[in-house]
Amino acid sequence: MTSAVRHLTEAGFLGKFYIDGEWRKPIGSATAVVINPATEQPIVEVALGNDEDVEYAVAAARQAFAGWSRTPAAGRAALLDRVHGLLLDRLELFAQAITVEMGAAITYARRAQVPLAAEHIRVARDNLATYSFISPRGNTAIMREAIGVCGLITPWNWPLYQITAKVGPALAAGCTVVLKPSELSPLSALLFAEVMDDAGCPPGVFNLVNGTGPVVGTGLASHPQVDMISITGSTRAGVLVAQAAAVTVKRVSQELGGKSPNIILPDADLSRAVPLGVGAAFRNLGQSCSAPTRMLVSRSQMAKVEVLAAAAASELVVGNPLAESTTHGPIANRPQFERIQAMIGVGLEEDAKLVIGGPGRPNDLQVGLYARPTIFSNVRRDMRIAHEEIFGPVLSIIPYDTIDEAVEIANDTVYGLGAHVQGTDIETVRTVAGQIRSGQVHLNYPDWDPNAPFGGYKRSGNGREYGHEGMEEYLETKAVLGFYR
């Protein structure tokens, strides 16, 4: 038992929800077993909510909204500052929780999952110092006001990161929230609720109800007292939430699936572009909606790219996520593991060229949801592995003959969340980036920017997270004519 699991068990949080500033027992008796994907064994049971739990949480958030929305920006920033500090103070506790609940290597949890999550809180805090909630337009005042009570639905793959990406800007905007984390990775969410409590969050401003999508997720989406839903998840889940929300005509912000391209232009430095591209595709073991899992390569360079890609993949260390030497742990859950295995089989059936990896676990791992980092080459754009989201460590190398064709292939997807372009001539790189239909484009592997708006075109969703744009999702626009004389 890790210290994070021991802490949650001893505190009694596993069987409770955080509602109206208190840890409360659920109304019903439903529970879910949290499985450690490295051992495939149960860790703990957590309580699952029902419609009555949702009612209590929404009522608490509604009651708290008037006071919180009128709290000066400096007061909201002060709370976020305390939350940010506590997240960093408890980094190791969060890292251990994330490792056991969804399999991220402990080194990656410490380096990325937790500190990047803390950055969302910092950015939300800092934005309050510069954002104008009222501005003049002639004699009219343009006011930006908190939308109200927000239901936040988060996924299992970046469990803390996705929570802070929503909670931070929502609270900064003056909204109150009810969080429904994934029932598959709820431990870090419970720890986050404890942080909110210890930071002195006013009762009802932040509430947490664990539960399933069909019960708690749908309950929030359809609730007439919830003014907005923000969901990160699969496109299928996003559609269901939007349908449930439509009856009450509430705002729905969706960050959904992706099949992101990585265009390697002919003048790119392949020795840099290809290994970094493999690393980006397999970040979080490919369990990221914006992972660039389609590598587009000039046909004349395919052979060299295959060698470089195989070499990069062979350096990954898949194994016990608590080991310091491990770079990639297991797949987060059994359904996702089986999906990945099935799609690797599809790639073989479609006669794509297997460069490295393949079905099954790595040879030295007999237990655990471990997948082999897999690279296919000579992938045609009509193959399923070229256009279906796999959400795992499977990279497709697709040849192109001209840059125009590369752009066409990049846009030949129902998704539009992220994209990458690599090349030496920066003007060409910029031109290609401007032709790609996606919410973000990364040029020559830049540093992550927590202020860069993130969100999708097409079936990757709508709305934006991060930066000022992320906070504006939680704001309404009011025009007051004649305000200025």
Report in angstroms the alpha-carbon separations of 439 from 123, 220, 442.
20, 27, 10
Q: Are 480 and 141 in contact (CB under 8 A)?
A: yes
Q: Say which residue the tokens 């802070």 belong to.
A: 164
Query: For this structure, is 289 an active site residue?
Result: yes
Q: Are 186 and 160 in contact (CB under 8 A)?
A: no
- Rounded distance between C-alpha atoms, residue 372 and residue 364, angstroms: 11
Helix ranges (H only) for 90-158 are 91-102, 106-108, 114-127
Helices (H) and strands (E) in the chain, counts: 17, 20
- Rounded distance between C-alpha atoms, residue 131 and residue 347, angstroms: 49
What amino acid is encoded at 213 in this protein?
G
Q: Are 392 and 366 in contact (CB under 8 A)?
A: no
- Rounded distance between C-alpha atoms, residue 130 and residue 436, angstroms: 31
Q: Taken in order 216, 217, 218, 221, is the CA torsion positive or negative?
A: positive
Tokens of 310: 């195989």
Decide: helix, strand or coil at residue 353.
strand
Which residue out of 150, 175, 201, 289 is catalytically annotated? 289
Residues 6+ apart with CB under 8 A from 254: 230, 231, 232, 238, 241, 242, 456, 461, 462, 463
Query: For this structure, is 150 an active site residue?
Result: no
- Phi and psi at residue 439, in whole multiples of 5°? -75, -30
Which residue out of 183, 194, 255, 465 is catalytically annotated? 255
Q: Are 27 and 68 in contact (CB under 8 A)?
A: no
- The β-bridge partners of 442 are 420
**Residues belonging to the chain:** 485
Decide: helix, strand or coil at residue 216.
helix
Tokens of 60: 């608490």
- Rounded distance between C-alpha atoms, residue 268 and residue 295, angstroms: 13
Report in angstroms the alpha-carbon separations of 69 from 135, 145, 467.
18, 8, 20
- Rounded distance between C-alpha atoms, residue 339 and residue 23, angstroms: 36
Residues 6+ apart with CB under 8 A from 152: 163, 166, 167, 170, 177, 178, 179, 180, 229, 230, 231
- Phi and psi at residue 394, in whole multiples of 5°? -130, 115
Number of other CB atoms surrounding residue 138 within 10 Å = 9
List active site positions: 255, 289
